[in-house]
Amino acid sequence: MEYWDGMKAIAPELWLTGFALLALLVDLLTKGRNSRTVGYVTLAGLGVTALALMGQSERVTAFGMVEVDAFGRFFKLFTLAALAVVCVFVMSDRRERQHGIGEYYFLLLGAAVGIFFMVSTNNLLLLVLGLELLSLASYSLAGFHKGNKASAEAALKYVIFGGLSAGVMIFGISLLYGLTGTIDLAEMATLGGEGLPRGLVSQLAASPIPVGIAVTMVLAGFAYKISAVPFHFWTPDVYQGAPTPVTTFLAVASKAAGFGALLRFLGVMFVRGDVQGLVADYGGQVGLLIAVLAAITMTVGNVSALGQSSLKRLLAFSSVAHAGYLLMGVATMNNEGFSAALYYMAAYYFMNLGAFGVVLYFEGVNGNDHIDSLKGLGRKAPLVSIVMVAFLVSLTGLPPTMGYYGKFLLFTAAIDNGMTWLAVIAGLNSAISLFYYFRIAKALFLEEPSDESVPRTQPIFTGMLTAFGVCTVLFGLYVSPIMQWVVSSMDLLG
């Protein structure tokens, strides 16, 4: 009966898969005419899955592969919450309604299944499969507007870079397997022994360079998912060319999943209590590598964002920069930094979903996403514009917002772990980012509108954006609920 226990443990994933298939069936039965129904099925599926997730409290390992723990649950709930918002985006985007878009929801749910497995496994096979499931769904979503040259081009670029990073990552995993004889991270992190896999620790002493090459190659796969330098080239093009709800999904859910998997990979391999003493030096070196990557990533992201005229491209480079800030927490390689990264992720959820929602709204109003076309919208659509300013303040990292507190935690973690130089670079970067975020606010409020047309309002959509804005500020002032959730979720290293 152990199989049924396993099935119970992966019940959320099963529900999600079931609802994905159901969405496909409903789309078939309604012949793609009524995609709204499929949207409601999807939202129901997300709700049921969330309930199934909340019902799990004990820590178990299903089928020797799926780790059901609070750390995974954090990212799963994060994904569900992000997907729900993306679904609402899709349903309220008038341009999306023209297409037969039942598959849209199926692909979103499929991507969620991928994320679920990817953030909750110590098994590299399942990690790769989850990552690929997420990637494949993302490719198709990015190219969803088949008639649109930009969308097709974005998707092709995404596939090609994705293929490269998947190839490099899988080759790295094959090297790790060759070195240790196991594909389980926890087994890799042990000393090994008679009749057991050899363990990375004994390999570290014997052949440090191959181990370093293998670990670096695996990190490339994660770097692609979180769009860290030097695997960020796809980011601006794909963000610009993909439909805006898909861009939102990529910027929030897909990136968080990449971080979830990365934290688990590093945590189980190098940081967990039972291995820390054995690989402390090596873990520190990997941390240093990530710190350098973090510094380069945030600098490249922020400097490139300065000259952009497309709002989606600007936010794409901003998301590269934010990957750099988050990597700062990862680089510390301890509980403090990881928790800071988790909190910043929660902040990132509110401010980035909000910012992309506003972009979607402005796109609906203007028909394009140029910053110039935002001129004077502060007077025409005051509520949305004010909310946008709250998101921008939070993205810059100024008080009193979640972004500020998140950055505060990340900077503290970096300084506490002897990476003051990294904190200084991050501080300078935040100052740079002020310039381009301020450009948006300036266009909204300080410039004259080019015409007098009044945009249509969508009450539900505007209400949701306002709620995000309020949350961004509220949870920045009153941090304990999110902080408690983060602390209780950090059972990874225990």
Partner 1 sequence: MHFDYFNVLVFAAVGFVFVIANMLIGAIIRPARKQQEGLEVYECGEPTIGDAWINFDVRYYTVALVYLVFAVEIAFLFPWALVMQGALKGEGHAAGVGYFALVEGFLFIAILFLGLAYVWAKGDLSWTAEYQGEDYHPQNPSEGRAAVPSLAELQAAESESTEEHAAESESDEEAA
Partner 2 sequence: MTVPNEHLLFLAAILFAIGVCGFFVRRNSIMVLLSVELMLNAANLTFLAGSRMHSTAARPELSGPIFAIFVILVAAVEAGVGLALVIALFRRKQTVSLDQLNELGD
Q: Under the rule (CB under 8 A), what is the footprint of partner 1?
A: 3, 21, 24-25, 28, 147
If contact means CB under 5 to 8 A according to the sort of partner, which of partner 2, partner 1, none does residue 28 touch? partner 1
Around Cβ 489, how many Cβ atoms within 10 Å?
A: 21
Q: Binding to partner 2 by residue 475, rule CB under 8 A?
A: no
Stretch that binds partner 2, among 32-40, 134-142, 295-303, 330-338 (CB under 8 A): 134-142
Nearer of residues 220 and 278 to partner 2, judged by Cβ? 220
| Smallest distance, partner 1 to C-beta of residue 352, A | 33
If contact means CB under 5 to 8 A according to the sort of partner, which of partner 2, partner 1, none does residue 94 touch? none
Q: Taking the C-alpha atoms of 32, 34, 40 and 46 in order, what is their torsion angle to the nearest 10 degrees? A: 10
* Residues touching partner 2, count (CB under 8 A): 51
Q: Binding to partner 2 by residue 186, rule CB under 8 A?
A: no
Structure tokens belonging to residue 324:
């750099």
d(CA 327, CA 277): 23
Nearer of residues 153 and 447 to partner 2, judged by Cβ? 153
Stretch that binds partner 2, among 83-91, 150-158, 281-289, 295-303 (CB under 8 A): 150-158
Task: Decide: residue 82, CB within 10 A, 0-12 exposed, 13-18 middle, 19+ buried.
Answer: buried
- What's the residue count for the chain? 494
Q: Binding to partner 2 by residue 173, rule CB under 8 A?
A: yes
Q: Binding to partner 2 by residue 193, rule CB under 8 A?
A: no
* Residue found by looking up tokens 């994905």 in the block: 20
If contact means CB under 5 to 8 A according to the sort of partner, which of partner 1, partner 2, none does residue 243 touch? none
If contact means CB under 5 to 8 A according to the sort of partner, which of partner 1, partner 2, none does residue 25 touch? partner 1
Residue 62's DSSP bridge partners are: 66
| Sequence-separated (6 or more) residues with CB below 8 Å from residue 281 | none
Q: Binding to partner 2 by residue 227, rule CB under 8 A?
A: no
Among 14, 22, 170, 434, binds partner 2 (CB under 8 A): 170
Q: Binding to partner 2 by residue 230, rule CB under 8 A?
A: no
Q: Where are the beta strands (DSSP E) in 28-114?
A: 60-62, 66-68
Query: Which amino acid makes up residue 431?
Result: A
| Smallest distance, partner 2 to C-beta of residue 235, A | 11
Q: Taking the C-alpha atoms of 323, 324, 330 and 332 in order, what is their torsion angle to the nearest 10 degrees? A: -170
Q: Binding to partner 2 by residue 160, rule CB under 8 A?
A: yes
Q: Binding to partner 2 by residue 171, rule CB under 8 A?
A: yes
Where b means 16+ CB within 10 Å and e means fewer, 250-270 reads bbbbbbbbbbbbbbbbbbbbb
If contact means CB under 5 to 8 A according to the sort of partner, which of partner 2, partner 1, none does residue 110 touch? none
If contact means CB under 5 to 8 A according to the sort of partner, which of partner 2, partner 1, none does residue 64 touch? none
Nearer of residues 147 and 195 to partner 1, judged by Cβ? 147
If contact means CB under 5 to 8 A according to the sort of partner, which of partner 2, partner 1, none does residue 394 touch? none
- Hey, CA dihedral for 186, 192, 197, 202, is it positive or negative? positive
Around Cβ 418, how many Cβ atoms within 10 Å?
A: 10
Stretch that binds partner 2, among 234-242, 287-295, 329-337, 402-410 (CB under 8 A): 234-242
d(CA 206, CA 310): 51
| Smallest distance, partner 1 to C-beta of residue 167, A | 17
Structure tokens belonging to residue 354:
């909000």
| Smallest distance, partner 1 to C-beta of residue 193, A | 24
Among 166, 263, 269, 294, binds partner 2 (CB under 8 A): 166
Given a contact cutoff of 8 angstroms between Cβ atoms, the answer to whether 382 and 449 are in contact is no
Given a contact cutoff of 8 angstroms between Cβ atoms, the answer to whether 323 and 286 are in contact is no
User: Which strand (E) or helix (H) includes residue 60?
Assistant: strand 60-62
d(CA 272, CA 256): 21
d(CA 179, CA 173): 10
Q: For the residues of 79-98, what is the DSSP string, one character each?
A: HHHHHHHHHHHHHH-GGGGG
Give the residues lining the site for partner 2 (CB under 8 A): 124-125, 128-129, 132, 135-136, 139-140, 143, 146-147, 149-150, 152-157, 159-160, 162-164, 166-168, 170-171, 173-175, 177-179, 181-183, 195, 197-198, 236-237, 240-241, 307-310, 313
